[in-house]
Amino acid sequence: MNAPTGKLENASSKGYRIIGTRPIRPDGVDKVTGKAIYSPDFVAPGMLHGAILRSPHAHARIRAIDTSAAAALAGVKAVVTGADLPDDATLLERDNTGEALHVARHCLAVDRVLFDGHAVAAVAATTPEVAQAALALIAVDYEVLPAVRTIAEALAPDAPALHPDHTVRGAEPGSLPANIAAVSANSRGDVAAAFAEADVVVEGSYRTAPVHQGYIEPHACVAQWNADGQGQIWASSQGHFMIRSQVGAILGIPLADLRVVPLEIGGGFGGKTRVFLEPVAMILSRRAARPVRLAMTRADVFRSSGPAPGSESRVRMGAKADGTIVAVELDVSLGCGAYPHDESTPALMSATLPYSIPNFAFTGRAVFTNMTTSHAYRAPGAPQGSFPIECTIDQIAERLGMDPLDLRIRNAARPGETGYFGLPHGEVGFLESLEAARAHPHWSAPLAEGAGRGVAAGAWGNYGGPSSAEVSVAEDGTVLVTEGSPDIGGSRASMAMMAGETLGVPYEQVRVVIADTNAIGFSMVTGGSRVTFATGKAVIQAVEHVIEQLRHRAALIWGVETEEVDWRDGAAWCGSGDNAGQSLSLAAIAARANNSGGPISASGTVNAQGYLPGCGVHICDAVTDPETGVTTITRYTAVQDAGTAIHPDYVEGQIQGGAVQGIGWALNEEYVWNAVGQVDNPGFLDYRMPVASDLPMIDAVIVEKPNPAHPFGVKGVGETGIVPPLGAVANAVSRSLGKRMAELPLSPARVHAALTAS
C-alpha cells in the first residue's frame, strides 16, 4: 500500500544512522521464494500422521467412545481420547489457576462436548488416508443437550449452565447468572451529579459479532516424546515458551525436558498464543513411540481455535455545551465461548483510554457460550469497548453541531492526567495524532454525493514484560543476535537495526536468530505489541555489555585503562598514551579476541517496564447503496503515534493491516451458526474477509512522540490500528444513510433490513 502522507523525519535528522531507515527484511527472500519452513511443512524422520475426530454437536454428553475398530485398522499406531489426559485433580495440582485444566479439556473433551468442533479422539497412522479412515471407525454415543449460541441466550434465566461449578472471583457462589465467567468494574467521581449537569446526554445499545483472526497458516505441529521422558515439539506460534509451559503443565513434563523449536509463523494476530494440538500430538507420540504431526483444516481453525468474542454493550454519555464530556456509563458483555477467557478488563480500560473523563462507571463481564473458546485478536477487547464510545461521541458532536475531531481534541488525554486505573498518563501522543488527522488533506477534502465521513479514535495500552537476548561477535566482526520472540511483524529487522545503531555498525553486519527454548532464556509471547519495546531493550542491554567488553579488549591491546577507551562509530578510540587518537575497528578487535580474553558475547534479560499506549485516529469515507445495503469504502486514512518508528515500512504495514482487519470486522466478518449451533461459514469462501479489491489505498500517517523509557523511544504499534475502524466505518455509514447503525457487521443484508424496517 502507499507510503504515508504524514511528515516523518529521516534517520539522520533524528541523530540516527539506522533507526528510521527502511532496509530489506532479513527473512524476506526465504519467505517470498517459498524456502521458509512453516509448521505444516516440517517433517521429522519416521513421522506419523495424526487426525482428530471432532464433535458435530454444539453441546452434548459423551455417553461412550468405542475406538477398538480404529485401533485395529492396519497402519494405525495410536488412538487416544480425553481419558488419556490427566484428571481434573492432577491438572489443578499442577496449575491451581485452572488454565491447564481448561486448555486440556479444550484440546480433548471429557464427559461433555461444549462446541461444534470440540475434539473427542485422535489417531496416529502411517498415512493421512489411513488416519482419516480410522476416524470414521470411531463410534461416539452422544446425548445432545440444549446449546446457547449468543450472549443473550446464555444470560437467560432458564439457560443451561455450561459450567455449573464455576465460581467468579470476588463474587458469592450463586449470586450471578449461571453462565457468567468473569466480571470487572471500575468507577470514578460522581456520575449521577455529572449527568444532571450535562447539557446533552446520548445513550444507545451496540453489538458486535465474534470474528476470527483470519491468519493464512492453520495450526499445526510435530511432536516427539522420547523413551527417556524428554520431548521435542516443532510448531509455529506466537510463543514457543508458552507452548512449553502449557504442554509441560498438562502432561507433567519438567520444562527442562521439553524442547520447543519455533518455525516460521504464517500469521497469528493473538490467535496463536495458546495450544490446541500440541498436548494431543505428544500423547499420541508417547503411545506410538514415533514423531506425530497434527494439523488443522481450515474448517477446524474456524470451529475449534480461538476467535475474538462478540459483544453486547450499553453506553450513556453526557457532555457540556462546549463539548466537554463529563460522564460516561458503559456496560459490556463479551462471549468467551466454552471455557474461561476474560477480555472485559482490557475492553473497559481501552474504551476511553485516549480521553480524559472525570466521571465514569464501567461494568464488564465474560459470558460462557457454546462455541470454541474465544481468544486474543490484536488489542483484545479494545475494539468491542471502543466501538460504542466512538459512536456515541459522534452523536454528541452531531447534537452540538461540533466538528468531531475538535470534540475529541477538547477531551484528549494529556501527559500527566489520570488514566483509567488512577495512574498518570505518560508521554501519550493522542493530541498530536488528532492534530495530524485534522491537518491531513483527507479531513478537508470535499465529500462525494451520498458519501459519509466518519472519524474514530482508539488506543491500546501496550506491554513490556520478560525477554531475553544474547549478542556475540564473530571472528570477522559480524554480529549475531539470538533472541526468543517469534518474528511476526518484522522483529528480526528491528532487533538488527537497534543492535547496529547501538553498536555503531551497519545493519548488514548484524544477523538475528530466533532460538528454541533450550538455547535462550525465557521470553514472553509475541503479543501485546511488546517485542520491539521489551525484546529490543534486552538486545540493547546485551549490546551495551558487549561494548564494555570491546572497550576492555582494546585497552588491553593498547596497554591503557578501560576508562581511557571510548566507543563510537563502531570502533574503539584511545584517549591517552602512545596510541591517543587511534582507533580499532570491531573487526580488528574480534580478530584478536582469542589473545585478549576469548569469545566476545553477552546476554540481556529484562522485565521491561515503562511501556506507553499507542493512540490512533482513523478517517473513513464510505458510500452505502440504500437499495442493496452494500457499502464501499472510498477513502481511508489512519494516523498513529508510534513513539519512534524503528522501521517505518513495518510501522506503516502494521497500521494498514490493523485498519483492514477492523474494516472487515465492521463490514462483513462474523460467525454464523445454524439452529443447532453448528458453524455455517467455516472457511474463507463464506467467511467474508476483505481483499485488496474491496479497499482503497490505506494512507498510513506516522506520528512520533518518543517514549522516554526506551533508549530509542519505542511504543508498540501492532494493535492500536484495529481499534478505531469499527467506529470510523460505522460513523461514516451512519452519516451516509442518516440513520445510526449500531450492530456490526454492517453487512448488506443487515443494512438493508435496518433501512426497510418500519
Higher confidence at residue 170 or residue 641? 641
**pLDDT tens per residue, range 548-580:** 999 999 999 999 999 999 999 999 999 988 999
Judgement on whether residues 662 and 635 belong to the same structural domain of the protein: yes
- 664 vs 383: CA distance, rounded Å: 12
**pLDDT tens per residue, range 138-156:** 999 999 999 999 999 999 9
- Find, among 369, 48, 110, the residue nearest to 250 by Cα: 110
Can you give the pLDDT at residue 3?
39
Judgement on whether residues 693 and 583 belong to the same structural domain of the protein: no
- Find, among 649, 638, 322, the residue nearest to 490 by Cα: 649
> Angle at which helices 491-503 and 531-558 pack, to 10 degrees?
30
- With 70 as the cut, is the pLDDT of residue 5 above it? no
Contacts of 352 (CB under 8 A, 6+ apart): 328, 330, 360, 389, 420
CA atoms within 13 A on the CB side of 252: 10
Domain final residue pick, 580, 608, 636: 608
**pLDDT tens per residue, range 154-203:** 999 999 999 999 999 888 888 899 999 999 999 999 999 999 999 999 99
Judgement on whether residues 557 and 634 belong to the same structural domain of the protein: no
Is 551 part of any domain? yes
**Structural domain harbouring 508:** 464-608
Tell me what the mean pLDDT of segment 505-523 comes to: 98
Residues in the chain: 758
φ and ψ at 577, to 5 degrees?
75, -165
Judgement on whether residues 501 and 451 belong to the same structural domain of the protein: no
Judgement on whether residues 446 and 498 belong to the same structural domain of the protein: no
Show the CA angle centred on residue 230, arms to residues 224 and 231, nearest 5°.
25
Judgement on whether residues 626 and 705 belong to the same structural domain of the protein: yes
- 325 vs 664: CA distance, rounded Å: 30
State the CATH number of the domain containing residue 680: 3.30.365.10
Can you give the pLDDT at residue 30?
93
- Find, among 107, 116, 114, 120, the residue nearest to 160 by Cα: 114
Torsion sign across C-alpha atoms 175, 178, 182, 187: negative
Peptide bond into 724 cis (omega under 30): no
Judgement on whether residues 446 and 489 belong to the same structural domain of the protein: no
Strands (E), 33-72: 48-54, 60-66
Domain final residue pick, 564, 591, 608: 608
Its pTM stands at 0.97
Is 285 part of any domain? no
Q: For residue 267, what is the DSSP state?
A: -
Show the CA angle centred on residue 324, arms to residues 318 and 325, nearest 5°.
35
Is 520 part of any domain? yes
- With 60 as the cut, is the pLDDT of residue 9 above it? no
Q: What is the DSSP string of 655-666?
A: HHHHHHHHHHHH
Is 446 part of any domain? yes
Domain final residue pick, 608, 637, 667: 608
- 374 vs 304: CA distance, rounded Å: 10
Can you give the pLDDT at residue 14?
80
Q: What is the DSSP string of 319-366?
A: E-TTS-EEEEEEEEEEEEESS----HHHHHHHHTTTB--SSEEEEEEE
Can you give the pLDDT at residue 642?
97
**pLDDT tens per residue, range 218-254:** 999 999 999 999 999 999 999 999 999 999 999 999 9
φ and ψ at 632, to 5 degrees?
-120, 125
Judgement on whether residues 594 and 698 belong to the same structural domain of the protein: no
Average pLDDT, the chain: 96
Is 653 part of any domain? yes
Position of cell 485488496? 692
Torsion sign across C-alpha atoms 166, 170, 172, 174: negative
Judgement on whether residues 650 and 758 belong to the same structural domain of the protein: yes
Is 164 part of any domain? no
- Amino acid letter for position 600: I
Task: Sort 144 into a burial class: Cβ within 10 Å, 0-12 / 13-18 / 19+.
Answer: middle
Is 735 part of any domain? yes
Is 649 part of any domain? yes
- 141 vs 132: CA distance, rounded Å: 19
Judgement on whether residues 455 and 471 belong to the same structural domain of the protein: no
Please tell me the total count of domains within the chain: 2
Can you give the pLDDT at residue 758?
57
Rg of the chain over all Cα atoms, to the nearest angstrom: 27
Cell of 258: 521439553
Strands 220-225 and 571-574: unpaired
Judgement on whether residues 596 and 491 belong to the same structural domain of the protein: yes
Contacts of 184 (CB under 8 A, 6+ apart): 342, 344, 345, 348, 363, 364, 365
Judgement on whether residues 638 and 710 belong to the same structural domain of the protein: yes
- Find, among 398, 408, 395, the residue nearest to 436 by Cα: 408
Tell me what the mean pLDDT of segment 284-300 comes to: 98
**pLDDT tens per residue, range 22-50:** 999 999 999 999 999 999 999 999 999 99
- 354 vs 282: CA distance, rounded Å: 45
Show the CA angle centred on residue 531, arms to residues 650 and 9, nearest 5°.
40
Can you give the pLDDT at residue 170?
83
Provide the total of helices (H) and of strands (E) in the chain, helices listed first.
21, 26
Cell of 80: 487416544
Can you give the pLDDT at residue 11?
66
Strands (E), 352-435: 360-368
